[in-house]
């Protein structure tokens, strides 16, 4: 077979070689393009030809080589485009499946606001366990042994032998903090508390409180008032009015309850404030010397104030929610309004 015949044979093979897959492409390359291929071997044979024939044969060979490469490259490109299938298999005109986006719980929103106000004036966040012993929840807080709050009627005991109970207030965190830290102490303790109460629109068996405690030398009732004034103005606006009413807690002396002018009727009287013009938002007082002593702090040297507020009550007032139970039902129709 002459060189020309061999070239024609290869040309014919190239023409008939179908390139459908990447595999075909590779076989094609091995057969016609790589150095050791049948086609490329033909170039070696050029040297055996007479000079005048060599020129023409070289031209034909180069032409064939170019055609082979062209075929290879065009198919390579088509195949690489095909490997990604851009055709849509879904019906994009169908309505989408909606997923419900979560939102922050109203109690968390309120908690975060209060935390922000107090941390900006130097209060530090502390936490305590929700299962407490009698000492931290009652005794260290100066509750008399026969105090009604210790009663099973009010407290969820979980172990009578060790007097373990679900904490009834965040004041237990006062004790834990004073036992482990030296004054000056400035803490804020948000948390969940439990009371054995019949569930109704105004009460639940658990709810949330934020406790505040400030212990240092020469802390006075004026400091307590000024701190709470500051908080209330930041929280409810400059126009809000504040009043203190004498009250009683075993762990503070003197004790007070703090009211703010009704945020709804601005003090004129409405159903929310039961026509008094005032809303009760927290209990507070000067830390009782017995409590300081119980925690190893010298009441002759140090004094301090404490306050505790319920979050559900405030959120109800702020958002005009009339049933406290809605905070705990996790109904998204309620939750997404905040």
One character per residue 155-174, x = contact with ligand PHE (rule: CB under 6 A): --------------x-x---
Query: Can you tell me the distance from the alpha carbon of 132 to that of 275, in angstroms, rounded to the nearest whole number?
Result: 39
Q: What would the two tokens of residue 328 be? A: 């705990």
* Least CB distance to ligand PHE at residue 308 (A): 3
Rg (CA), the chain: 42
Query: Can you tell me the distance from the alpha carbon of 328 to that of 207, in angstroms, rounded to the nearest whole number?
Result: 9
> Is residue 128 part of the contact set for ligand PHE (CB under 6 A)?
no
Outline where the chain has alpha helix (H). Answer: 3-16, 22-32, 38-45, 51-82, 106-119, 134-137, 172-180, 221-236, 289-294, 311-319, 332-335
> Is residue 284 part of the contact set for ligand PHE (CB under 6 A)?
yes
One character per residue 239-258, x = contact with ligand PHE (rule: CB under 6 A): ----------x--x------
* Least CB distance to ligand PHE at residue 175 (A): 12
Q: Which of 128, 190, 267, 283 binds ligand PHE (CB under 6 A)?
A: 283
Q: Which of residues 187-246 bind ligand PHE (CB under 6 A)?
A: 211
> Is residue 321 part of the contact set for ligand PHE (CB under 6 A)?
no
One character per residue 81-110, x = contact with ligand PHE (rule: CB under 6 A): ------------------------------
Peptide bond into 184 cis (omega under 30): yes
Cβ neighbors of 319 (< 8 A, separation 6 or more) are: 106, 338
Cβ(170)–Cβ(193) below 8 Å: yes
* Least CB distance to ligand PHE at residue 274 (A): 20
Query: Can you tell me the distance from the alpha carbon of 147 to that of 4, in angstroms, rounded to the nearest whole number?
Result: 117
Q: What would the two tokens of residue 40 be? A: 């490329």
Q: Which of 187, 308, 312, 317 binds ligand PHE (CB under 6 A)?
A: 308
* Least CB distance to ligand PHE at residue 212 (A): 7
* Least CB distance to ligand PHE at residue 126 (A): 14
Closest residue to ligand PHE in the complex (CB)? 308
Q: Which of 306, 311, 317, 321 binds ligand PHE (CB under 6 A)?
A: 306
Name which of 10 and 282 has its Cβ closer to ligand PHE: 282
Stretch that binds ligand PHE, among 79-87, 105-113, 283-291, 325-333 (CB under 6 A): 283-291
* Least CB distance to ligand PHE at residue 208 (A): 11
Query: Can you tell me the distance from the alpha carbon of 38 to that of 45, in angstroms, rounded to the nearest whole number?
Result: 11
* Phi and psi based region of residue 277 (left: phi greater than 0; alpha: psi -120 to 50; beta: remaining): left
Query: Can you tell me the distance from the alpha carbon of 244 to that of 260, in angstroms, rounded to the nearest whole number?
Result: 9
Stretch that binds ligand PHE, among 40-48, 66-74, 130-138, 303-311 (CB under 6 A): 303-311
Half-sphere exposure of 283 (CA within 13 A, CB side): 16
* Least CB distance to ligand PHE at residue 284 (A): 5
Name which of 72 and 143 has its Cβ closer to ligand PHE: 143
Query: Can you tell me the distance from the alpha carbon of 206 to that of 62, in angstroms, rounded to the nearest whole number?
Result: 90
# residues contacting ligand PHE (CB under 6 A)? 11
**Contact residues for ligand PHE (CB under 6 A)?**
169, 171, 211, 249, 252, 283-285, 306-308
């Amino acid at each position: 077979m002459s060189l020309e015949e061999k070239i024609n044979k290869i040309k014919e093979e190239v023409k008939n070689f179908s390139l459908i897959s990447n595999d075909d492409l590779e076989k094609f390359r091995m057969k016609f393009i790589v150095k050791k291929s049948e086609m490329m071997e033909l170039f070696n044979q050029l040297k055996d030809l007479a000079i005048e024939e060599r020129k023409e044969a070289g031209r034909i060979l180069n032409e064939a080589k170019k055609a082979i490469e062209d075929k290879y490259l065009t198919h390579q490109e088509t195949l690489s485009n095909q490997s990604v299938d851009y055709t849509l298999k879904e019906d994009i005109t169908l309505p989408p499946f909606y997923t419900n986006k979560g939102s922050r719980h109203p109690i968390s929103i309120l908690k975060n606001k209060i935390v922000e106000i107090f941390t900006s004036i130097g209060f530090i966040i502390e936490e305590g366990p929700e299962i407490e012993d009698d000492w931290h929840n009652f005794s260290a807080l100066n509750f008399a042994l026969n105090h009604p709050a210790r009663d099973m009627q009010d407290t969820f005991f979980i172990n009578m032998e060790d007097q373990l109970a679900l904490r009834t207030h965040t004041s237990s965190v006062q004790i834990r903090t004073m036992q482990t830290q030296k004054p000056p102490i400035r803490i804020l303790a948000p948390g969940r508390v439990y009371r054995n109460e019949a569930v109704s629109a105004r009460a639940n068996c658990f709810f949330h409180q934020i406790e505040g405690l400030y212990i240092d030398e020469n802390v006075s009732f004026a400091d307590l008032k000024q701190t709470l004034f500051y908080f209330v103005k930041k929280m409810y606006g400059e126009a809000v009015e504040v009043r203190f009413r004498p009250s009683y807690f075993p762990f503070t002396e003197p004790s007070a309850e703090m009211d703010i002018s009704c945020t709804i009727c601005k003090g004129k009287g409405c159903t929310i404030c039961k026509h008094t013009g005032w809303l009760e938002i927290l209990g507070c007082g000067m830390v009782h010397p017995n409590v300081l002593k119980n925690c190893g702090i010298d009441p002759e040297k140090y004094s301090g104030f404490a306050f505790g507020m319920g979050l559900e009550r405030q959120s109800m007032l702020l958002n005009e929610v009339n049933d406290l139970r809605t905070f705990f039902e996790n109904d998204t129709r309620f939750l997404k309004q905040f």
